[in-house]
């Protein structure tokens, strides 16, 4: 399915090549606002259409702009949720109340962790006390390594290099382990 979305996105960019850069940014903003959609198909499409380095720069700009737009929209629409009981986890509370250097370091470290959903970090920072300036700086710096890793991985898989084959094999093994583990815990209950 991801490959189908990637191919449709590549066709869209090629059909509107004069505004493909803007379309990519807009798609990234929509993905960021949704908060749960993976952007890997868009990164792959950017690499195919624009080449590795230009595609990486466009992906970085798109993700950064998307994070800022999402932050602003979440702050405007969801600020009153800070008292909600489901937001009572100590880590969430720490980010909700963080300011200045503490907020910067928390957002930066959460952006560097590959399994922490980007949309969740944006949402919690937006409804908390983090300033827009701190969020932009920490989020952009934190997104840079993650975009480079994602782009490199996608490029290796798309090129089907030996590194790409190792990545696909590793991801496949991890998924198999997770599924078996999930099935085992369900049968144990």
**Tens digit of each residue's pLDDT (9 = 90 or more) over 100-158:** 888 888 888 888 876 677 888 888 888 888 899 999 999 999 888 888 888 888 888 77
Here the tokens at position 70 are 């999402």
Q: Which residue has the higher pLDDT, 13 or 175?
A: 13
Say if residue 177's pLDDT is above 90.
Answer: no
Reported pTM: 0.74
- Compute the distance between CA of residue 93 and CA of residue 83 in angstroms, rounded to an integer: 10
- Sorted by sequence, the CB contacts under 8 Å of residue 125 that are 6+ apart come out as 71, 95, 103, 107, 135, 139
Say if residue 85's pLDDT is above 60.
Answer: no
């Amino acid at each position: 399915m991801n490959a189908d979305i990637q191919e449709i996105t590549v066709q869209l960019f090629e059909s509107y090549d004069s505004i493909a850069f803007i379309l990519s940014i807009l798609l990234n903003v929509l993905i960021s606002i949704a908060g749960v959609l993976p952007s890997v198909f868009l990164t792959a499409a950017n690499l195919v259409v624009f080449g590795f380095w230009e595609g990486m720069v466009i992906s970085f700009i798109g993700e950064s702009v998307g994070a800022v737009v999402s932050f602003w929209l979440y702050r405007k629409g969801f600020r009153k949720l800070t008292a909600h009981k489901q937001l009572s986890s100590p880590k969430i509370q720490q980010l909700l109340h963080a300011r200045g250097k503490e907020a910067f370091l928390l957002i930066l470290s959460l952006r560097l962790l590959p399994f922490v959903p980007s949309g969740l970090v944006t949402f919690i920072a937006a409804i908390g006390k983090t300033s827009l300036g701190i969020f932009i700086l920490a989020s952009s710096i934190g997104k840079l390594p993650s975009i480079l890793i994602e782009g490199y991985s996608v490029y290796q898989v798309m090129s089907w290099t030996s590194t790409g084959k190792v990545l696909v094999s590793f991801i496949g093994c991890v998924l198999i382990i997770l599924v078996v583990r999930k099935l085992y815990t369900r049968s144990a209950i």
